[in-house]
Amino acid sequence: MRKAGLFCVAALAALSISACGGSKQESTAAETTVAASTVEEGTTAAGGSIIAPEAAKTDHQNGGFPVQLDADSFNGKTVKAEFFAFDRYDVAKINALKVGDVLQVANHNVAIKTIDKKNAETGNFPEVIINGGVANGGVSLLQDGDYFRTESEDGTPLYYSIGTEELKLASDVVYMDYSDLNQQNGVTYQTDQIKKAFEADKAKGWGPQVISVVIKDGEVKQIFRTFAQESAKK
């Protein structure tokens, strides 16, 4: 399950773009937190550390981004998309976490009551389970290369919305569908084929777990669809 969840992250990383992109599965962090304000890194009143994630990229002129795509809005010239982010943390800071610290997750502050580390010695996808993990109302973190990232129950990042935009499409935009694992090279739809392909895929998920866009100089050059686990098909 985790390998499928990491597929999109790895694909975007290979393209040297900034973030990874199923259905719209928004963050449930609000259910696991004790405060709802974002603060700077520092210390709590009780002396614990406050750990913030890396700043999310807000400039969408160039790069790769996970989105919830409004397929019905596609008209060959523009398409509407809701941008999503997920939190990433410095490995050293996560390894140093202790009970009493506060971790900022999806713009909420999580007071750390318990910490459980898995696979730290083997290096096989080390995880840090906070307050029982995401399945129990807590937070799950997975080491992915040189950072830890949030993890939802299906292994994909824990996404949260950062705004909606109407995007300009490049004249040579393509739709690249890698959702069928039996087709190693996927299926690429040229500009004049995209609308029909979108209509055929209408029942599929269109959220950040499976959809991402590559933007160059303010124009969408590529739209990617990756493999969707069952939870991302709704």
In the chain, where are the structural domains located? 63-85+166-232
**For residue 54, is pLDDT > 90?**
yes
More confident residue, 137 or 232: 137
What letter represents residue 227's amino acid?
Answer: F
Would the pLDDT of 23 be above 60?
no
Q: For residue 36, what pLDDT band results from cuts at 50, 70 and 90?
A: very low
Half-sphere exposure for 92 (CA within 13 Å, toward CB):
0
- pLDDT at 167 > cutoff 70: yes
Confidence at 40, pLDDT banded by 50, 70, 90: low
Whole-number Å distance between alpha carbons of 156 and 154: 6
